[in-house]
Chain A
Amino acid sequence: MTDFVELDVRPILRAGGEPFGEIMGAVKSLAPGQGLRLFATFKPVPLFNVLGAQGFTHAARELTGGEWQVEFTPAAAGKTPGSGAGTDPASGARPGAVPATAASGGAWPAPMSELDNRDLDPPEPMVRTLAATEGMAKGEVLCALLCREPVFLLPELAKRGHAWRGGFDADGKTYRLLIRIGAGQGGSA
C-alpha cells in the first residue's frame, strides 16, 4: 500500500497563481516509496508527462465541479515498470532517477524578461528563445510563452547547459517555459 502525501493546489490556481514550483518541491521531498495525492481545479495532463519521466504512474479521478484528484505513485511501489525518458529501465525506474541539476530545486530568481512567442510560425519561437538566451548572463532566468510544448528546443537548451522548467498554464493553451542560463547539466522538468 503506497503512503500518499497530499497537496492541494486549488487555492493557488483559484488565485491565478502557478503551482508548478510547489508541486515539484513536494515531489522532491517525498520519501522513497511515497506517492503524491494532488488536488487541482483541472486535469493536470502536462504533469503526467513530467512526473512520468521521473518514474511515477498516475491515477486521475474527477471530483465534483470539474476538479480533479490525481494520485502519483512511484513505479517501484506500484510494481509497474518505469516509463519515461531519463529513467533507466534496466536499473528499475524510481523517483529522483532523473539527475537533478544544481538549480533544479529551490527557488529561481524572477525572470529578467518575458518573450511572448505564441503567435509566431514554427520554428520562429525556438529561434527567438535561443537568441534571447545568448544575450543573458549565467544564473539569469528567461520566461518564454509558447503555444505548444517545445519538443526540439528542450534538448537544445540542455546541450547549451541551461536548466529549464515548463508546463501548461491552467487554460491548457499557453506553455510557460522558464530557462535558467548555465544552470543545467541536463534539463530539469
Chain B
Amino acid sequence: MQGTTLSRWTLSYFAVAVVFLLAAQALMALGVGYPSAALRAPQTLIVVHCVTVGWLSLLMCGALFQFVPVLLARPIYSNMLPLPALILIVAGLGALIAGFLQLAGALPWMPHCFIAAGILLGSGFAVVLWTLGRTFARAWPPNLPAQFVVVGLCAIAVTVTFGIVFALGYGGYLHSALLAKLRVHALPLHVIAGLGGWLTFTAFGVSHRLLAMFMLSPELDGPTTRWTLYLGTLALAIVVGAGTVAAATAGGLEIALSLAGLAGLACLALYGSDVVQLYRRRVRRVIELNSRMAAVALAHLAAAVLLIIACAALGGIARFSGALVFLVCFGWLTGLGLAKLYKIVAFVTWLECYGPVLGKTPTPRVQDLVVEPRAARWFWLYFAAVDFATLCLFTGTPLMFRAAAAFMTIATLGIAVELVRTRRLVNVKEALRLPSGAHAPRLLLTFVAH
C-alpha cells in the first residue's frame, strides 16, 4: 500500500523541543551565558546546545519523521524507533549539560560525563539516521525536495561527529594529535555544518514543499531549485572537506570558508528567488498565519545574510559572531519552526481525530482548531523581541538583551499555550468537537491505526 499514516512520536519530539526552547530563553533572560558570559564559556555552551540540540534538532527530527514519508509517499520504516532515539538524545543532552556545568564549577567533577554525552547523542542521532535512511531506501532515488533532506542528514552526521570530538576533548580523552588539533580549530565547521547544513538546508527542502502545499503554489523543480541543491551541497562539501584538512593541519580556515561562503551565497540567492516565486505564484490569495510568519522568518534569513556579508566586508565577523548566530537561530530557524509547528500540530490533530469519520459525519475544518488572530499577537511579539535582542547584541547592552529575552520567553509561552489548546480541541465548537467514531487526541502521543 502506498501513502503514509501519522507519525506516532512526532508530538512527543515537539513537546520536548518546546520545553528546551522555553528553558533556553528563560536562561538568557536570567543572564546565563552570552552576552553576560564569554561566547565560549560553559554557560553559553549550555544555552547554545539547549537551543540547537534540545529545541531545533528535536523539532526537525520530529518533523522529518512525519514529513519524509509524505515527501516520498511511503510509510516510515519504523514508527517505534523514534522513541528510543528521543530518549537517547535527551539523555545525551543531559549528560552534555552536566559536563558543561562541571566545567563551570557548578557541579563536582564526575568522570565520563562527556564520553557518556558523546555515546548517547551519537547513538540517538544514529537511530534517527537509520530510521529515516531506511525510509529513503524505499523510494530511492529521492525526488528533489527529498534530496535536500538527504544532504541535511549527511550534515547532522558530520555535526555530531565533530561534537563527539569536542566532547572527548573536554573529557580529557583526546590523546591523538590530529583529533586534538581538530578540537582546537574545527569549531566553525561544527557550527556551519549544524546551523547551515543540517538545520537550514533541511528547512529549505521542507519549506519548498510545505509552502507550495499550504499556498497552492506550483511545485518547483526547475534549474533554480536544482542549482540551490548543487551549490549548497558544494558549499557544505568545501566546509567539511577542505575545512577539516585545514583544521587538522592547523592551517587557516579562511580560504575554505571564503570559497564555501561564495557557493553558499549563490545557493541562498537561488533559494530566495524560488521562495519569491512560491509566494507570487500562489493560487491562494489570503494565506494562513503559518505562511505569513514563515515569510517573516525568511525575511530574517535575508537580513542575517546581509549582515554576515556586511560584517565580513568590514572585518567584524569574529566580534559579532554571537549576534549573527543568535539572529540565524531565533529570527530564521526558530521563527520558521514555530510558524510551521502552529500548522503541523493543527493538521496532525485534525487528521488523527477526524480522519476515521471524514465524509460520514460533519467534522470541523483544520482552521477551526486554531484561533489565528490570538496566536498572531504572540508571533509578532516574538519577532519584535528577537529583533530588539539582536540589536542589543550588536550594541553591547546585556541588560536590555535580558529584557528582550524575557519577552521572547513570554511570546513562546503564549504560542505553546495555543498549541496545547489546539491539541485539546478547545477552539472547536462543542457540537462538532467529538462526533461518534472520532478519536480524542492525547497531548504527547499520536494514535496510529493499522
B4 and A49 form a contact (CB under 8 A): no
B449 within 8 A of A: yes
* Across-interface contacts of B109 in A (CB, < 8 A): none
A49 and B216 form a contact (CB under 8 A): no
Which residues of chain A from 17 to 37 have any CB-CB distance to chain B below 8 Å in the complex?
none
* Across-interface contacts of B358 in A (CB, < 8 A): 126-127, 130-131, 156
A187 and B351 form a contact (CB under 8 A): no
Which residues of chain B from 104 to 143 have any CB-CB distance to chain A below 8 Å in the complex?
137-140
Residues of A bordering B, CB below 8 Å: 49-50, 52-53, 83-86, 98, 119, 121-124, 126-127, 129-134, 147-156, 158-159, 186-187, 189
- Nearest residue in B to A133 (C-beta to C-beta)? B359
B3 and A84 form a contact (CB under 8 A): no
Apart from A127-B358, A133-B359: 4 A-B pairs, beta carbons within 8 A: A122-B213, A131-B359, A132-B359, A152-B4
- Nearest residue in A to B213 (C-beta to C-beta)? A122
* Across-interface contacts of B5 in A (CB, < 8 A): 152, 155
* Across-interface contacts of B366 in A (CB, < 8 A): 123
B2 and A123 form a contact (CB under 8 A): no
| B137, B283, B359, B449: the one within 8 Å of A119 (CB) | B283
Point out which of B70, B139, B359, B366 has the most chain A C-beta atoms below 10 A from its C-beta.
B359
* Across-interface contacts of A147 in B (CB, < 8 A): 216
Chain B residue total in the interface (Cβ 8 A)? 32
* Across-interface contacts of A131 in B (CB, < 8 A): 358-359
A-B contact pairs, 18 of them (CB 8 A): A49-B2, A50-B2, A83-B138, A84-B138, A85-B1, A85-B74, A85-B75, A123-B347, A123-B366, A127-B359, A131-B358, A132-B359, A133-B359, A134-B360, A151-B69, A152-B5, A154-B3, A156-B355
In the bound assembly, the distance between CA atoms of A150 and B73 in angstroms comes to 8
B359 and A151 form a contact (CB under 8 A): no
A134 and B284 form a contact (CB under 8 A): no
Contact (A151, B70) CB under 8 Å given A49-B139, A127-B358: yes
In the bound assembly, the distance between CA atoms of A129 and B69 in angstroms comes to 22
B9 within 8 A of A: no
**Min CB–CB distance A5 → chain B (angstroms):** 24
Contact (A119, B216) CB under 8 Å given A83-B139, A154-B3: yes
* Across-interface contacts of A134 in B (CB, < 8 A): 359-360
Point out which of A83, A151, A154, A158 has the most chain B C-beta atoms below 10 A from its C-beta.
A151
In the bound assembly, the distance between CA atoms of A134 and B363 in angstroms comes to 14
B140 and A187 form a contact (CB under 8 A): no
B378 within 8 A of A: no
Contact (A83, B4) CB under 8 Å given A119-B216, A134-B360, A151-B73: no
| A83, A127, A133, A150: the one within 8 Å of B3 (CB) | A150
In the bound assembly, the distance between CA atoms of A130 and B360 in angstroms comes to 8
* Across-interface contacts of B359 in A (CB, < 8 A): 127, 129-134
A-B contact count (CB 8 A): 88
A83 and B140 form a contact (CB under 8 A): yes
- Nearest residue in B to A184 (C-beta to C-beta)? B1
B350 within 8 A of A: yes
B3 and A155 form a contact (CB under 8 A): yes
In the bound assembly, the distance between CA atoms of A133 and B359 in angstroms comes to 8
B216 and A121 form a contact (CB under 8 A): yes
B4 and A155 form a contact (CB under 8 A): yes
In the bound assembly, the distance between CA atoms of A114 and B360 in angstroms comes to 19
* Across-interface contacts of B347 in A (CB, < 8 A): 123
**Min CB–CB distance A122 → chain B (angstroms):** 6
- Nearest residue in A to B366 (C-beta to C-beta)? A123
* Across-interface contacts of B365 in A (CB, < 8 A): 124
Point out which of A53, A124, A187 has the most chain B C-beta atoms below 10 A from its C-beta.
A53
In the bound assembly, the distance between CA atoms of A158 and B1 in angstroms comes to 8
0/1 string, B334-360, CB within 8 A of A gives 1: 000000000000010011000110111
B363 and A127 form a contact (CB under 8 A): yes
* Across-interface contacts of A186 in B (CB, < 8 A): 1
* Across-interface contacts of A84 in B (CB, < 8 A): 74, 138-139
**Min CB–CB distance A123 → chain B (angstroms):** 6
B227 within 8 A of A: no
* Across-interface contacts of A153 in B (CB, < 8 A): 3
* Across-interface contacts of B3 in A (CB, < 8 A): 149-155, 158, 187
In the bound assembly, the distance between CA atoms of A148 and B360 in angstroms comes to 24
In the bound assembly, the distance between CA atoms of A151 and B140 in angstroms comes to 17
0/1 string, B261-282, CB within 8 A of A gives 1: 0000000000000000000000
The 6 closest A-B pairs by CB, nearest first: A154-B3, A130-B359, A131-B359, A130-B358, A187-B1, A134-B359
